[in-house]
């Protein structure tokens, strides 16, 4: 492996200073970063290990009713936190549908948000990739791309963001708290990931040294707990990235949808909030027709980037199903096969 | 390596004879405790680490390597390249026989496939060697790669598989098709697949002058030894290979692989022991794979659902530099009683590592196509697919007309169908739903695999203390040879299993042949059986010729070996212990050899195959197309079952592999570069626990007096066959959509909703 410096700062301020140097990156659990380093995809000069920083592993309810989740909370701890799944069931379901139990035990909230695309050409250093090496070209564009983006892509890059966790988060207006060289700021999660445009190498709104310290779910996010689901179609029952996924959350009052939230995963370089679909659902009864209409709106701008036209039709169907499941009500417990179409199968074997 | 102490395992069940008992693995405790020493666990003093640099392109040549940069990296000891390597005694391009495959051992700068080794960096640490390999930063002269089943002009190879005829026919296929009332003409495609044994190909090699010590997983100790001896020009007795455990092989560890040879060369170059272990992605190239196929099946049937003709053609690929052809169409030789059968193959050459045997080579690929096509024909005839199979049940082997040495397939169908509840199946597809609204489908597939025998030797001894020894260079790939062969050994010498020292897994033991073709238990078992009989005969000679023995004069009546005693056959009150016989004779031990080999006369007379019937239930989401297998029942008839426990594990594994074949497994090849784009276990999908339903295996009694002395047929590969087709047929039955490209993908099931 390439020789690199390893630093373990004692404070957030020191961490930011250390990571602001060229060639430095943060290391959380490393379940993504270390794989990339072993494959020669990332070749950092310096790892800034944040796992020992104090105070970043808390889950706390703030005075205004928002939930603040430290960046170092593990995916598993968050999903299994008492009360979390009750208040934010779609988020818990998404977390538990990701990766494997071992990976979830290690992976952190911050790392999950910033995990890199699974585009095979990005991982394969023998291929050309604009994201890995700006301006070299995109071998996925005419390659094996049935898993690639159908929304928001550009000729420079057709990759998707693979996180499950981010999908319900973006639907619920999650906010990211960032500590940077100029102090603390916060942005909507929806603004964290960038669409590729002509600069797919710039993946997020973060600047050098920026450290995600926490994630916040606003008070309104709890309001959907009675009708919130995450649905993920994948090529095996567990331990696979989404082909397409959707998070659907509804606030139903007097038999009508007072407010709807919808986001798609596996379709774009960012978790894809479908606001136009949400708009058509406001104030209508939760019917199959309404959900169909929402699905059409959600995918109105979709176009295939390769052998992946099926993902558009699949995404529509997933939207309809996710909304249908959400309308039917959140199950009392996270299903044994979280987010699976087979979640409701009786006697399901645990994923 | 610590001495194997297999018998210290917790007491295992045993009643009566050893063969047939469901003993748990005798090496299980070692494995669970991490004490089983696999090749890469060895660390001789002074050992260095070698890492291969592999090609990023699949055709062309290496124009330059930055050896200087690699050597400058701290810890790097040397860099082996085509210009700087120890000489070999023979050209690795020369094929001395069809089982010697060409390998890339830096003989030139030519690149024939992606992930081909192009240099080896040797360093004090794994990290330094890895970075040294990255620093080589190869530059290439690239030529356009040959990729896919239409890459070039097709040709008819001289043989397919292991010397099988490329084309075979019986009867007039065209006439049979022309006269048929119903016809099926369909094309099925199977993808390239990689063995992906859990344990990567590894080697630890140490030279001491011209002596060579090797730790390396192999399914063929003596084949590997012979190849090493040839390549390095040293005598067989200068080489010692240890391979006590394999973390799976599935055919990819049958023959000496190029990277393992590079490990030996590296050790020679630096004059120190060297360890070389392939990384997962490096296994997608130089260590074999299952070639893709495109198969056309044309089937005719008369008005009553009787086959009139079966024509099975398979297109496959081989590498640009060597020959192995997946014998997919051969699957149609044995199962269905068509009066006219033709099988044929052709191929194109592509830039790939040479394909090789992979668990059920030919049978797996051919079976899923054949079982799908048979199912399509059953539907065309309006018949239940099981009834259709029974109607076309082959009483003699269709392609040869020979009787079967044994064939309990009818019982497999019956017992499997009963356990599964097949009778309740709807004839029409897309009729069955569960309470949650999922489409439910039931499918059946017939399993078949030849009962093969290779050559093996064993050596048995009875010691002064009455204990036994059985020596055979057999291979435990995880299938349980340490246990099953020891059971046979114990019965062969008439002792309790714990009284027999069973030695296996090293090259200084008698040649056990190759652990492949589902023939290892049968072949090694036959050698053990015969060695045991021979040593008991010597012991009996000592006793029956000695007038002081109670067995004196029993020569004609004969004796039986049982529980450490020889017992007179016609008078069980007269017996003597082994220890007593040897003590009186004043010999430390008696020793004898035995062999296992095919019986040409029996093979001439009989067709020999194991059979089975697999039933699968799938559920399919009607709108989203995601599939889940929810039940599988497999009934198999495979001759004598040496250890029901291990046999079930083998069959479970095969059935899961079949499920994988139908729904998951595929190496995704970039159509331009020929590179495998999912060369890792995250993205090369195999079933995870949540994909595997409760499996039910029935072993159907079958007594076969012809296959070998013990009546053993193999169980290692048959589980895949039938299973893949059963799952595919169940998907059709659930959805009404016949998918002919495997693995079945979500998009193909979205067409209808
Ligand atoms: C085989 C496999 C299967 C997987 N399947 C799924 C799946 O189905 N669904 C899914 O959603 N995910 C999946 N994952 C991805 C997994 O969720 C991520 O690897 C994990 O969440 C990353 O977290 P980490 O703490 O290990 O991050 P690391 O690997 O340590 O870091 C990832 C990136 O985030 C940066 N980073 C980390 N923390 C911070 C921070 N606080 N501030 C700023 N930057 C930071 C790092 O610099 C790095 O660039 C899978 C991963 C693997 C290996
Ligand atoms: S799609 Fe994006 S990540 Fe993939 S190869 Fe193209 S530029 Fe790279």
Instruction: List, for residues B211-221, the tens digit of each pLDDT value.
Output: 999 999 999 99
* Residue B94: exposure state from Cβ atoms within 10 A (0-12, 13-18, ≥19): exposed
- When pLDDT is cut at 50, 70 and 90, the band that residue B555 belongs to is confident
Determine which residue's CA is closest to atom 23 belonging to ligand 1.
A111
CATH number, residue A309: 3.30.390.50
- Whole-number Å distance, alpha carbon A137 to ligand 1 midpoint, is 25
Q: Is A128 on the interface with B (CB under 8 A)?
A: no
Q: What is the distance between the alpha carbons of residues B543 and B508, in angstroms, rounded to a whole number?
A: 31
A165: Cβ below 6 Å to ligand 1? yes
Instruction: Note the pLDDT of residue B444.
Output: 98
Q: What is the distance between the alpha carbons of residues B151 and B153, in angstroms, rounded to a whole number?
A: 7
Distance from CA of B271 to the nearest CA of A (A): 24
Atom of ligand 1 nearest to the CA of A72: 41
Question: Nearest CA to B306 among B341, B343, B338, B340?
Answer: B338
User: Tell me: the pLDDT tens digits for A277-294?
Assistant: 999 999 999 999 999 999
Spell A46-56 as b/e; 16+ CB within 10 A means b.
bbbbbbebeeb
**CB-CB neighbors (< 8 A) of B678 in chain A:** 120
Which parts of B553-644 are beta strand (E)? 559-562, 565-568, 571-577, 589-596, 609-620, 627-637
B753 has a pLDDT exceeding 60: no
- Tokens 């659930």, residue? B734
B98 has a pLDDT exceeding 90: no
Instruction: Note the pLDDT of residue B404.
Output: 98
Tell me, yes or no, whether A283 lies in a domain: yes
Tell me, yes or no, whether A136 lies in a domain: no
B284 has a pLDDT exceeding 80: yes
Question: Cβ contact (<8 Å) for B685 and A235?
Answer: yes
- Tokens 């005075």, residue? A63
The ligand placed nearest to the CA atom of residue A100 is 1
Please state the length of chain A: 351
CB within 8 A of B232, min separation 6: which ones?
Answer: B88, B89, B212, B264, B268
**CB-CB neighbors (< 8 A) of B74 in chain A:** 3
Among B127, B687, B745, beta carbon nearest to A1:
B127
Strand partners for B311: B298, B342
Q: What is the distance between the alpha carbons of residues B603 and B402, in angstroms, rounded to a whole number?
A: 10
* Residue B666: exposure state from Cβ atoms within 10 A (0-12, 13-18, ≥19): buried
Tell me, yes or no, whether A66 lies in a domain: no
Tell me, yes or no, whether A93 lies in a domain: no
Q: Is B94 on the interface with A (CB under 8 A)?
A: no
Strand partners for B458: B594
Tell me, yes or no, whether A36 lies in a domain: yes
Q: What is the distance between the alpha carbons of residues A19 and A13, in angstroms, rounded to a whole number?
A: 10
Q: Which two tokens stand for residue B286?
A: 């130089």
- At A319, give phi and psi (nearest 5°): -60, -50
Domains of chain B: 39-144+196-283 (3.30.365.10), 149-195+288-400 (3.30.365.10), 454-594 (3.30.365.10)
A349 has a pLDDT exceeding 50: no
Among B134, B436, B683, beta carbon nearest to A40:
B134
- Tokens 């309790």, residue? B496
B13 has a pLDDT exceeding 50: no
Question: Cβ contact (<8 Å) for B671 and A243?
Answer: no
Which secondary structure element, helix H or strand E, spans residue B371, and what is its range? helix B363-380
Question: Cβ contact (<8 Å) for A346 and B623?
Answer: no
- When pLDDT is cut at 50, 70 and 90, the band that residue A210 belongs to is very high
The fraction of chain A above a pLDDT of 90, given in percent, is: 96
Question: Nearest CA to B576 among B586, B562, B589?
Answer: B562
Question: Nearest CA to A245 among A165, A174, A183?
Answer: A165
User: Tell me: the pLDDT tens digits for B604-663?
Assistant: 999 999 999 999 999 999 999 999 999 999 999 999 999 999 999 999 999 999 999 999
Which secondary structure element, helix H or strand E, spans residue B48, and what is its range? strand B48-54
Determine which residue's CA is closest to atom 21 belonging to ligand 1.
A112
A348 has a pLDDT exceeding 70: no
> 3-state DSSP call for residue A129?
coil
CA of B318: how far to CAs of A127, B75, B143, B201, B348, in Å?
24, 40, 18, 22, 7
Tell me, yes or no, whether A43 lies in a domain: yes
Spell B240-278 as b/e; 16+ CB within 10 A means b.
ebbbbbbbbbbbbbbbbbbbbbbbbbbbbbbebbbbbbb
- Tokens 């610590």, residue? B2
- Give me the long-range contacts of B670-673 (CB less than 8 A, separation at least 24): B670/A127, B670/A139, B670/A143, B670/A144, B670/B147, B671/A143, B671/A144, B671/B147, B671/B148, B672/A139, B672/A142, B672/A143, B672/B145, B672/B147, B673/A126, B673/A127, B673/A139, B673/B57, B673/B58, B673/B114, B673/B145, B673/B147
Tell me, yes or no, whether A12 lies in a domain: yes
Best mutation site among A111, A164, A189, A202 for ligand 1 pocket (most ligand atoms within 8 Å of CB): A111
Q: Is A292 on the interface with B (CB under 8 A)?
A: no
Q: What is the 3-state secondary structure (H, E, C) of A275-294?
A: HHHHHHHCCCCCCHHHHHHH
Domain with A23, as residue range(s), is: 5-52
- When pLDDT is cut at 50, 70 and 90, the band that residue A345 belongs to is low
B231 has a pLDDT exceeding 90: yes
Average pLDDT over residues A218-233: 98
Question: Nearest CA to B633 among B425, B393, B331, B431?
Answer: B425
Q: Give the A window 145-164 contacts with B, CB below 8 Å.
A: 146
Q: Is A45 on the interface with B (CB under 8 A)?
A: no
Among A143, A341, A345, beta carbon nearest to B670:
A143
The fraction of chain B above a pLDDT of 90, given in percent, is: 96
Which chain A residue lies closest to B58 (C-alpha atoms)?
Answer: A126
A346 has a pLDDT exceeding 60: no
Q: What is the distance between the alpha carbons of residues B575 and B569, in angstroms, rounded to a whole number?
A: 9
Tell me, yes or no, whether A235 lies in a domain: yes
Determine which residue's CA is closest to atom 6 belonging to ligand 2.
A138
Q: What is the distance between the alpha carbons of residues A214 and A336, in angstroms, rounded to a whole number?
A: 29
Question: Cβ contact (<8 Å) for A142 and B672?
Answer: yes
Q: At what angle do helices B258-270 and B221-232 cross, to 10 degrees?
A: 50
DSSP-derived secondary structure letter, B506: B
Instruction: Note the pLDDT of residue B14.
Output: 43
Question: DSSP assignment of B98-130, as one string?
Answer: TT-----SSS-SEE-STT-EEEEEEESSHHHHH
CATH number, residue A33: 3.30.43.10
**CB-CB neighbors (< 8 A) of A349 in chain B:** 689-690, 693
User: Tell me: the pLDDT tens digits for A171-200?
Assistant: 999 999 999 999 999 999 999 999 999 999
CB within 8 A of A3, min separation 6: which ones?
Answer: B74, B131
Determine which residue's CA is closest to atom 48 belonging to ligand 1.
A33
B556 has a pLDDT exceeding 90: no
Atom of ligand 2 nearest to the CA of A149: 1
- When pLDDT is cut at 50, 70 and 90, the band that residue B1 belongs to is very low
Interface A:B, Cβ pairs < 8 A: 110
Q: Which of A81-85, A245-249, B177-181, B234-238 has the lowest mean pLDDT?
A: A81-85
- At B132, give phi and psi (nearest 5°): -60, -40
Question: DSSP assignment of B263-314, as one string?
Answer: HHHHHHHHTS-EEEE--GGGGSSTT--BPPEEEEEEEEE-TTS-EEEEEEEE
B670 has a pLDDT exceeding 60: yes
Question: DSSP assignment of B462-483, as one string?
Answer: EETTS-EEEE-B---SSS-HHH
> Among residues A37, A52, A67, which one ends one of the domains?
A52
**CB-CB neighbors (< 8 A) of B666 in chain A:** none
The structural domain count of chain A equals 2
- Tokens 């987010």, residue? A339
Q: Give the B window 654-693 contacts with A, CB below 8 Å.
A: 663-664, 668-673, 675, 677-678, 683, 685, 687-691, 693
B9 has a pLDDT exceeding 50: no
Instruction: Note the pLDDT of residue B303.
Output: 96
- Tokens 């928002």, residue? A66
Among B56, B74, B746, beta carbon nearest to A235:
B746
Question: Cβ contact (<8 Å) for A235 and B131?
Answer: no
Q: Is B746 on the interface with A (CB under 8 A)?
A: yes
Q: What is the distance between the alpha carbons of residues B723 and B448, in angstroms, rounded to a whole number?
A: 11
- Whole-number Å distance, alpha carbon B308 to ligand 2 midpoint, is 53
Q: Give the A window 75-104 contacts with B, CB below 8 Å.
A: 100
- When pLDDT is cut at 50, 70 and 90, the band that residue B5 belongs to is low
- Tokens 């008698």, residue? B510
The reported pTM is 0.97
Instruction: Note the pLDDT of residue B12.
Output: 40
User: Tell me: the pLDDT tens digits for B578-601?
Assistant: 999 999 999 999 999 999 999 999
Geometric angle at alpha carbon B604, from B600 and B608, rounded to 5°: 90
- Whole-number Å distance, alpha carbon A330 to ligand 1 midpoint, is 28
A212: Cβ below 6 Å to ligand 1? yes
Other CB atoms within 10 A of residue A266 CB? 30
* Residue B478: exposure state from Cβ atoms within 10 A (0-12, 13-18, ≥19): buried
Q: Which two tokens stand for residue B76?
A: 């790097």
A192, A41 Cβ separation under 8 angstroms: no
Question: Cβ contact (<8 Å) for B691 and A237?
Answer: yes
Q: What is the distance between the alpha carbons of residues A119 and A104, in angstroms, rounded to a whole number?
A: 21
A342 has a pLDDT exceeding 60: yes
Distance from CA of B283 to the nearest CA of A (A): 15
**CB-CB neighbors (< 8 A) of A264 in chain B:** none
Q: Give the A window 310-349 contacts with B, CB below 8 Å.
A: 310, 313-314, 317-318, 320-321, 337, 340-342, 344-346, 349
| Chain Cα centroid distance, residue B349 | 24
A351 has a pLDDT exceeding 50: no
A115: Cβ below 6 Å to ligand 1? yes
């Amino acid at each position: 492996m390439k020789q690199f410096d390893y630093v373990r700062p004692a404070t957030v301020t020191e961490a930011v200073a250390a990571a602001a140097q060229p060639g430095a990156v943060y290391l959380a659990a490393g379940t993504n970063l270390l794989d990339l380093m072993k494959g020669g995809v990332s070749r950092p000069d310096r790892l800034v290990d944040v796992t020992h920083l104090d105070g970043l592993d808390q889950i706390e309810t703030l005075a205004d009713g928002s939930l603040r989740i430290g960046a170092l909370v593990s995916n598993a701890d968050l999903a299994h936190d008492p009360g979390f799944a009750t208040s934010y069931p779609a988020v818990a379901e998404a977390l538990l549908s990701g990766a494997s139990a071992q990976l979830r035990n290690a992976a952190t909230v911050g790392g999950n948000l910033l995990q890199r695309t699974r585009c095979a050409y990005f991982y394969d250093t023998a291929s050309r990739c604009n994201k890995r090496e700006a301006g070299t070209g995109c071998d996925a564009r005419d390659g094996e791309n049935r898993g690639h983006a159908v929304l928001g892509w550009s000729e420079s890059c057709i990759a998707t963001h693979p996180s499950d966790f981010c999908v319900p988060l973006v639907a619920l207006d999650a906010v990211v708290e960032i500590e940077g060289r100029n102090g603390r700021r916060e942005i909507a999660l929806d603004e964290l990931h960038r669409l590729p445009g002509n600069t797919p190498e710039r993946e997020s709104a973060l600047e050098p040294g920026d450290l995600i310290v926490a994630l916040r779910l606003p008070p309104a996010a709890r309001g959907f707990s009675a009708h919130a689901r995450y649905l993920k179609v994948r090529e095996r029952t567990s331990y696979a990235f989404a082909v397409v996924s959707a998070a659907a959350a509804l606030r139903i009052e007097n038999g009508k949808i007072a407010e709807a939230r919808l986001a798609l995963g596996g379709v774009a370089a960012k978790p894809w909030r479908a606001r136009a679909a949400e708009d058509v659902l406001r104030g209508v009864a939760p019917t199959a027709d309404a959900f169909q209409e929402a699905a059409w709106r959600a995918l109105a701008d979709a176009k295939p980037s390769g052998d992946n036209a099926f993902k558009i039709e699949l995404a529509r169907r997933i939207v309809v199903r996710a909304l249908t499941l959400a309308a039917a009500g959140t199950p009392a417990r996270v299903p044994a096969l979280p987010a699976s179409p087979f979640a409701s199968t009786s006697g399901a074997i645990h994923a | 390596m610590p001495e194997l102490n297999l018998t210290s395992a917790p007491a295992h069940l045993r009643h009566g004879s050893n063969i047939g008992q469901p003993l748990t693995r005798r090496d299980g405790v070692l494995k669970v405790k991490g004490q089983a020493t696999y090749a890469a666990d060895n660390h001789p003093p002074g050992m260095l680490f070698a890492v291969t640099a592999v090609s990023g392109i699949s055709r062309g040549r290496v124009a330059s390597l930055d050896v200087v940069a690699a050597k400058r990296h701290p810890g790097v000891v040397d860099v082996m390249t085509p210009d700087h390597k120890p000489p070999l005694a023979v050209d690795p391009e020369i094929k001395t026989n069809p089982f010697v495959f060409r390998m890339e051992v830096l003989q030139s700068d030519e690149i024939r496939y992606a992930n081909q080794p192009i240099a080896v960096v040797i360093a004090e640490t794994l990290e330094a060697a890895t970075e040294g390999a990255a620093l080589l930063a190869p530059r290439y002269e690239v030529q356009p790669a040959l990729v896919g089943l239409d890459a070039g002009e097709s040709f008819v190879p001289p043989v397919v598989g292991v010397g099988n005829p490329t084309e075979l026919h019986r009867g007039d296929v065209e006439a049979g098709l022309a006269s048929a009332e119903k016809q099926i003409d369909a094309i099925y495609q199977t993808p390239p697949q990689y063995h992906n044994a859990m344990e990567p190909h590894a080697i630890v090699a140490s030279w001491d002058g011209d002596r060579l010590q090797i730790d390396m997983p192999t399914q063929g100790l003596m084949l590997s030894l012979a190849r090493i001896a040839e390549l390095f020009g040293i005598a067989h007795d200068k080489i010692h290979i240890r391979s006590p455990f394999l973390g799976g092989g599935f055919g990819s560890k049958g023959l000496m692989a190029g990277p393992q040879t590079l490990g030996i060369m590296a050790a020679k170059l630096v004059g120190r022991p060297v360890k070389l272990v392939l990384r997962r992605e490096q296994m997608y190239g130089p260590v074999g794979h299952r070639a893709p196929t495109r198969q056309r099946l044309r089937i005719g049937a008369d008005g009553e659902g009787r086959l009139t003709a079966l024509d099975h053609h398979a297109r496959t690929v081989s590498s640009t530099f060597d020959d192995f052809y997946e014998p997919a169409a051969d699957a149609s030789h044995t199962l269905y009683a068509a009066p006219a059968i033709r099988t044929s193959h052709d191929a194109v050459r592509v830039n790939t590592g040479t394909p090789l045997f992979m668990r059920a080579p030919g049978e797996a690929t051919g079976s899923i196509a054949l079982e799908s096509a048979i199912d399509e024909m059953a539907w065309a005839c309006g018949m239940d697919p099981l009834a259709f199979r029974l109607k076309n049940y082959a009483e003699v082997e269709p392609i040869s007309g020979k009787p079967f040495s044994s064939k309990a397939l009818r019982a497999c169908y019956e017992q499997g169908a009963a356990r599964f509840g097949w009778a309740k199946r709807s004839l029409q597809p897309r009729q069955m739903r569960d309470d949650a609204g999922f489409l439910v489908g039931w499918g059946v597939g017939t399993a078949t695999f030849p009962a093969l025998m290779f050559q093996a030797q064993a050596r048995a001894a009875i010691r002064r203390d009455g204990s036994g020894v059985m020596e055979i260079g057999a291979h435990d790939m995880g299938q349980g040879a340490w246990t099953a062969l020891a059971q046979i050994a114990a019965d062969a010498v008439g002792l309790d299993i714990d009284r027999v020292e069973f030695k296996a897994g090293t090259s200084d033991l008698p040649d056990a042949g190759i652990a492949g073709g589902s023939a290892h238990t049968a072949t090694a078992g036959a050698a053990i059986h015969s060695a045991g009989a021979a040593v008991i005969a010597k012991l009996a000679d000592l006793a029956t010729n000695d007038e002081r023995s109670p067995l004196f004069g029993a020569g004609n009546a004969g004796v039986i070996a049982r529980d450490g005693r020889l017992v007179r056959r016609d008078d069980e009150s007269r017996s003597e212990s082994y220890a007593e016989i040897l003590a009186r004779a004043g010999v430390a031990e008696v020793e004898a050899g035995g062999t296992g080999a095919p019986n040409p006369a029996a093979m001439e007379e009989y067709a020999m195959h194991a059979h089975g019937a697999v039933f699968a239930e799938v559920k399919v989401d009607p709108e989203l197309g995601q599939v889940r297998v929810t039940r599988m029942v497999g009934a198999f008839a495979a001759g004598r079952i040496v250890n029901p426990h291990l046999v079930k594990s083998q069959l479970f594994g095969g059935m899961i592999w079949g499920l994988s074949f139908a729904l998951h497994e595929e190496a995704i090849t970039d159509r331009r570069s020929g590179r495998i784009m999912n060369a890792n276990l995250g993205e090369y999908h195999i079933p995870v626990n949540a994909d595997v339903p409760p499996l039910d295996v029935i072993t159907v009694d079958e007594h076969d007096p012809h296959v070998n002395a013990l009546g053993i047929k193999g169980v290692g590969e048959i589980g895949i066959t039938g299973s893949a087709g059963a799952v595919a047929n169940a998907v059709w039955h659930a959805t009404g959509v016949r998918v002919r490209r495997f693995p079945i993908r979500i998009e193909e099931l979205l067409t209808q909703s």
